[in-house]
A and B are shown apart, each in its own frame.
Chain A
Amino acid sequence: QTVVTQESSFSVSPGGTVTLTCGLTSVSVSTSYYPSWYQQTPGQAPRTLIYNTNTRSSGVPARFSGSILGNKAALTITGAQADDESDYFCVLYMGSGIWVFGGGTKLTVL
């Protein structure tokens, strides 16, 4: 069973920079998994932030960026704002029409 790992929680100060990661338990994450990232606030549908590792979805501020860092996919928020306080989910495409989401990271801005 494929497990996609994310930090359960993270904290950042307003104006600070934070990097959330998305990994696999047994292999390295590469661009071949087409990592994508989603933001979700309580009671709302997810919002697409980043796809294809590092492409920002339409309307997403430039302070959100995606990359591969070491053996994981990463979402970096540079200059965090109060309304960035949300849950963040990554998903990896495993091929053959199968996607696996990470467990999500709860980001606190304080």
Chain B
Amino acid sequence: EVLLVESGGGLVQPGGSLRLSCAASGFTFSSHWMSWVRQAPGKGLEWVAYIKQDGSNKNYVDSVKGRFTISRDNAKTSLYLQMNSLRAEDTAMYYCARLDYPQYFQHWGQGTLVTVSS
């Protein structure tokens, strides 16, 4: 069974940093693109970032470029999202998702909540 378990969310002040983790199991982690998707309270889904199998390619939604960094550790079957210079508008549930061919989100974690507030 594919399992994606996010952690690391919490309350942080504007301008602060947070590192999210996603522990993956039940599949060959190193064979899949991975992604982060977020959902602000009461709003829709927003793709945030993706990373290729070996970390050689990454991309981000414009609103987080230069502030967020996606990374992975295939040996630990884990995905990460380093979030710096956090803003109130980054407040959201952050989901880890496995990407499958062709270019869709096949499996989702349960999410971790990030709240940016003073």
Residues A51 and B100 in contact, CB atoms below 8 Å apart: yes
Residues A45 and B45 in contact, CB atoms below 8 Å apart: no
> Chain A contact residues (Cβ within 8 angstroms of B): what range?
20 to 34
> Chain B contact residues (Cβ within 8 angstroms of A): what range?
20 to 34
**Set B57, B100, B104: member contacting A91, Cβ < 8 A:** B104
Residues A34 and B102 in contact, CB atoms below 8 Å apart: yes
Nearest CB in chain A to that of B47: its residue? A99
List A contacts of B61 (CB < 8 A). Answer: 98
Tell whether B44 is near chain A: CB-to-CB under 8 Å: yes
* Bound complex: CA A102 to CA B61 (Å): 14
Q: Give A26 Cβ to nearest chain B Cβ, in Å.
A: 18
**Set A1, A48, A98, A100: member contacting B105, Cβ < 8 A:** A48
Task: Give residues of chain A (82-110) contacting chain B, Cβ–Cβ below 8 Å.
Answer: 87, 89, 91, 93, 96-104
Q: Give B107 Cβ to nearest chain A Cβ, in Å.
A: 8
Residues B47 and A91 in contact, CB atoms below 8 Å apart: yes
* Bound complex: CA A100 to CA B37 (Å): 10
Residues A51 and B44 in contact, CB atoms below 8 Å apart: no
* Bound complex: CA A36 to CA B107 (Å): 13
* Bound complex: CA A48 to CA B58 (Å): 23
The interface bits of chain A over 14-35 (1 if a CB of B lies within 8 angstroms of the residue's CB, else 0) are 0000000000000000000010
* Bound complex: CA A40 to CA B108 (Å): 11
Task: Give residues of chain B (33-63) contacting chain A, Cβ–Cβ below 8 Å.
Answer: 35, 37, 44-47, 50, 52, 57-59, 61-62
